[in-house]
Amino acid sequence: EAQVTQNPRYLITVTGKKLTVTCSQNMNHEYMSWYRQDPGLGLRQIYYSMNVEVTDKGDVPEGYKVSRKEKRNFPLILESPSPNQTSLYFCASSPWDSNNEQFFGPGTRLTVL
């Protein structure tokens, strides 16, 4: 089954404790992206990747890191989480061409205390 998976689905952590949210897709997509969803703000892009070893900042990259060492994986790293990073996070993937729709993971709800 074609899918995007994220782990963990739910996470409660404390300020400053490094964490990683994994994202993996099995569709051989070149393009992958991370978004955060906050009430009234819709989805805002954090980082995206056009292919292996190619990443770029989205609209709200501060406090986040990503890597793309393999085509299928695109982990999101919070080196020192803060309460304002409490949010719902989505990973998405698509073929490279920009006329393609994105496939979304199920989401990760993160709470930073």
Partner 1 sequence: AQSVAQPEDQVNVAEGNPLTVKCTYSVSGNPYLFWYVQYPNRGLQFLLKYITGDNLVKGSYGFEAEFNKSQTSFHLKKPSALVSDSALYFCAVRDQYNDMRFGAGTRLTVKP
In the complex, minimum distance from the CB of residue 15 to partner 1, in angstroms, rounded to a whole number: 26
Please, which residues have CB within 8 angstroms of residue 63's CB and are 6 or more apart in sequence? 78, 79, 80, 81, 82, 85
User: Closer CB to partner 1, residue 38 or residue 79?
Assistant: 38
Which is nearer to partner 1, 40 or 69 (by Cβ)?
40
Q: Where does this chain bind partner 1 (CB under 8 A)?
A: 4, 31, 33, 35, 40-45, 48, 50, 90, 92, 96, 98-99, 101-107
* 16/100 with CB nearer partner 1: 100
